[in-house]
Amino acid sequence: MDRTTLFEQYGSHVNAGKIDVYERYGLDAVMGGREGIRFRDAYDDRSWINCHCNGGVFNLGHRNPQVLAAVQASLATQDIGNHHLPAVSRTELARRLVSTTGGLLPGVVFGVGGGEAIDLAIKVTRAATGRVGVVSANGGFHGHTGLALAAGDAAYRDPFGPNPPGFSQVPFDEVVAMDAAVDDRTAAVILEPIPATLGMPIPDPGYLPAVQRICRERGAKLILDEVQTGLGRTGRMWAYEHWDLEPDVVVSGKGLSGGIYPISATLMTREIHSLFDTDPFIHISTFGGAEPGAAAALAVLDVVETPGFLDHVTELESRFTAGLAGMPFAFRHLGLMMALAFPAPDAGMFAAKLLFDVGIFAVYANNDTSVLQFLPPLITTNEEADEIIGIVRSVFG
Ligand SMILES: Cc1ncc(COP(=O)(O)O)c(C=O)c1O
Distance 55 CA to ligand 1 centre (A): 8
Q: Cβ < 6 Å from ligand 1: which residues?
A: 55, 113-115, 118, 141-143, 192, 196, 225, 227-228, 253
From first to last of its 397 residues, the chain has per-residue pLDDT tens of 999 999 999 999 999 999 999 998 889 999 999 999 999 999 999 999 999 999 999 999 999 999 999 999 999 999 999 999 999 999 999 999 999 999 999 999 999 999 999 999 999 999 999 999 999 999 999 999 999 999 999 989 999 999 999 999 999 999 999 999 999 999 999 999 999 999 999 999 999 999 999 999 999 999 999 999 999 999 999 999 999 999 999 999 999 999 999 999 999 999 999 999 999 999 999 999 999 999 999 999 999 999 999 999 999 999 999 999 999 999 999 999 999 999 999 999 999 999 999 999 999 999 999 999 999 999 999 999 999 999 999 999 9
Nearest CA to ligand 1 atom 8: 114
pLDDT 10s digits, 187-213: 999 999 999 999 999 999 999 999 999
339 bridge partner residues: 332, 373
Instruction: Write a three-state SS string for the chain.
Output: CCHHHHHHHHHHHCCHHHHHHHHHHCCCCCEEEEEECEEEECCCCCEEEECCHHHHCCCCCECCHHHHHHHHHHHHHCCCCCCCCCCHHHHHHHHHHHHHCCCCCCEEEEECCHHHHHHHHHHHHHHHHCCCEEEEECCCCCCCCHHHHHCCCHHHHHHHCCCCCCEEEECCCCHHHHHHHCCCCEEEEEECCCCCCCCCCCCCCCHHHHHHHHHHHHCCEEEEECCCCCCCCCCCCCHHHHHCCCCCEEEECHHHHCCCCCCEEEEECHHHHCHHHHCCCCCCCCCCCCHHHHHHHHHHHHHHCCCCHHHHHHHHHHHHHHHCCCCCCEEEEECCEEEEECCCCCHHHHHHHHHHHCCEECCEECCEEEEEEECCCCCCCHHHHHHHHHHHHHHHC
Q: Model's pTM, two decimal places?
A: 0.98
Ligand 1 atom with the smallest distance to the CA of 112 is 10
pLDDT 10s digits, 302-322: 999 999 999 999 999 999 999
Q: Of 54, 57, 145, 228, which is best to mutate to test ligand 1, by the most ligand atoms within 8 angstroms of its C-beta?
A: 228
Distance of CA 172 to the CA centre of its chain: 17
Distance 158 CA to ligand 1 centre (A): 19
